[in-house]
Amino acid sequence: MHADPKGVLTGVHFIDGDHAACEGALAAGCRFVAGYPITPSTEIVERFAARIPKVGGVFIQMEDELAASIAIQGAVWGGKKVMNVTSGPGLSLMMEHLGYAFITETPCVWIDVQRCGPSTGIPTGPAQHDMMQVKWGSHGDFQIIALCPNSPQECFDLTVRAFNMAETWRVPVFLMMDEVVGHMTERVDIPKAEDIEVVDRKWTTKRPGEYKVYATTPEDMVPEMTKAGEGHRIHVTGLTHNEKGYPDMSVPSQEKLLGRLIGKITGNADKLVDIREDQTEGADVVVVSYGITSRVASAAIEQARAKGVKVGGARLVIAWPFPAKRMQELAKTAKVFVVPEMNMGQMVQEVERAVAGAAKVVPVTHPGGSVHDVETILSAIMEASR
């Protein structure tokens, strides 16, 4: 289906990534946000608070991030599309509710405008510090999807996509922004509503009595959804549950539920991954990057090519699930993977795990607070090519 024109600000804009992400959410049909201010993400909820009265929906500023990250989930079961917006310290507080969204299959989008940590760190400085937290931060085993925009335009486009993926798979979907992408201003084209593809919730057509809130088929691992007030008298719990949503804390039940929940993502990883490659064919060196770092990396790649190095770029538009299979294919020809990140080495561990010794993997770390210098990445490429 197409976007509801009420939420779509069609036209050419000169806005920053935070504002663009908010417009993406509105275009995707987000009509409820429970927020809590935190630098550098606050502009997203500020814009939502200003826009939503005329679009039709609700914004509420909650008392803390714990409240925000669960109020949105209440709103999903009330029938709304929702998002959760924060940065590192807030994300740490929200972690329990990430697990709740996962086990209850509550579709929601989480935007993390990453800043420098640990703890309060440098609140106004960019980082890519939370790449592992979103993957592993909530207790227990779970899976998420994480998208990494590298421009305000992508903040719009990928937010729409994040909402569509959340509805399709019924998992929390992350938009992993960073302070630079959030605060940089560029041209953003917002298409007409009829040109924006929006995935509707997978509403059940089953009547009360027939409908089981978590019933699935072997062909389709994603259950149909309903909302409170439809007469289905559903039960939703964070406990291990059966198809009716009732607690069932037996090992077979745990095995069945967790197997399906994890399998939804791992079993469909090939469909979900998105890696943008630039001259990786026959490259000796492949630079793997994501988010704003991919733009710094492109400059370094170009300069290295000018010096005669056969270097390719591989950008993770979707970081989770990680494109391990593609990395293994690339490792058949590439001798070295160079992985610049604004952290002390997070996604580089995934690259290492995927290539499993078939090629050398070189991290180019950065503690955060600014982006890499082009020269730092360039010299890592040059070193790798020797």
Q: According to the binding rule CB under 8 A, does residue 64 interact with another protein?
A: yes
Listed ranges 68-76, 118-126, 285-293, 316-324: which one lies at the site for another protein (CB under 8 A): 68-76
Give residues with Cβ within 8 angstroms of 293, minimum separation 6.
128, 340, 341, 342, 371, 372
Among the listed residues 3, 15, 44, 82, the single contact to another protein using CB under 8 A: 82
When the beta carbons of 63 and 281 are compared against another protein, the nearer one is 63
Rounded to a whole number of angstroms, the minimum distance from the CB of residue 35 to another protein is: 12
CB atoms under 10 Å from CB of 36, counted, come to: 23
Spatial distance between the Cα atoms of 274 and 322, rounded to a whole number of angstroms: 9
Q: According to the binding rule CB under 8 A, does residue 239 interact with another protein?
A: yes
β-pair partners for 122 = 116
Q: According to the binding rule CB under 8 A, does residue 236 interact with another protein?
A: yes
Report the residue count for the chain: 386
Rounded to a whole number of angstroms, the minimum distance from the CB of residue 227 to another protein is: 7
Ramachandran sector of residue 160 (left: φ over 0; alpha: ψ -120 to 50; beta: rest): alpha
* Among candidate residues 277, 79, 261, 47, the one with its CA nearest the CA of residue 171: 261
Listed ranges 60-68, 155-163, 196-204, 329-337: which one lies at the site for another protein (CB under 8 A): 60-68
Rounded to a whole number of angstroms, the minimum distance from the CB of residue 273 to another protein is: 31
Site mask, another protein, residues 130-149, x = CB under 8 A? --------------------
Among the listed residues 8, 25, 70, 173, the single contact to another protein using CB under 8 A: 70
The site that binds another protein (CB under 8 A) totals a number of residues, namely 44
Among the listed residues 39, 49, 66, 302, the single contact to another protein using CB under 8 A: 66
Bond before 149 cis per omega within 30 degrees: no
Among the listed residues 10, 39, 79, 253, the single contact to another protein using CB under 8 A: 79
Q: According to the binding rule CB under 8 A, does residue 54 interact with another protein?
A: yes
Among the listed residues 3, 22, 45, 72, the single contact to another protein using CB under 8 A: 72
When the beta carbons of 82 and 265 are compared against another protein, the nearer one is 82
- Phi/psi for 86 (5° steps) reads -160, -175
Listed ranges 18-26, 77-85, 299-307, 355-363: which one lies at the site for another protein (CB under 8 A): 77-85
Binders of another protein among residues 248 to 267 (CB under 8 A) are: none
Spatial distance between the Cα atoms of 102 and 108, rounded to a whole number of angstroms: 10
Give residues with Cβ within 8 angstroms of 354, minimum separation 6.
322, 323, 324, 325, 327, 328, 331
Among the listed residues 74, 123, 191, 369, the single contact to another protein using CB under 8 A: 74
Structural contact between residues 82 and 76, judged by C-beta atoms closer than 8 angstroms: yes
β-pair partners for 59 = 33
CB atoms under 10 Å from CB of 200, counted, come to: 10
Site mask, another protein, residues 4-43, x = CB under 8 A? ----------------------------x-x---------
Spatial distance between the Cα atoms of 291 and 315, rounded to a whole number of angstroms: 8
Rounded to a whole number of angstroms, the minimum distance from the CB of residue 187 to another protein is: 28
Q: According to the binding rule CB under 8 A, does residue 269 interact with another protein?
A: no
Among the listed residues 227, 295, 305, 360, the single contact to another protein using CB under 8 A: 227
Query: Could you tell me the CA-to-CA distances from 307 to 372, 374, 381 in Å, in that order?
Result: 20, 15, 11
Q: According to the binding rule CB under 8 A, does residue 286 interact with another protein?
A: no
Terminus-to-terminus CA distance in the chain, angstroms? 52
Spatial distance between the Cα atoms of 216 and 274, rounded to a whole number of angstroms: 27
Structural contact between residues 221 and 47, judged by C-beta atoms closer than 8 angstroms: no
Q: According to the binding rule CB under 8 A, does residue 344 interact with another protein?
A: no
| Chain residues in the site for another protein (CB under 8 A) | 32, 34, 53-54, 56-58, 60, 62-64, 66-68, 70-80, 82, 96-97, 100, 227-239, 246-247
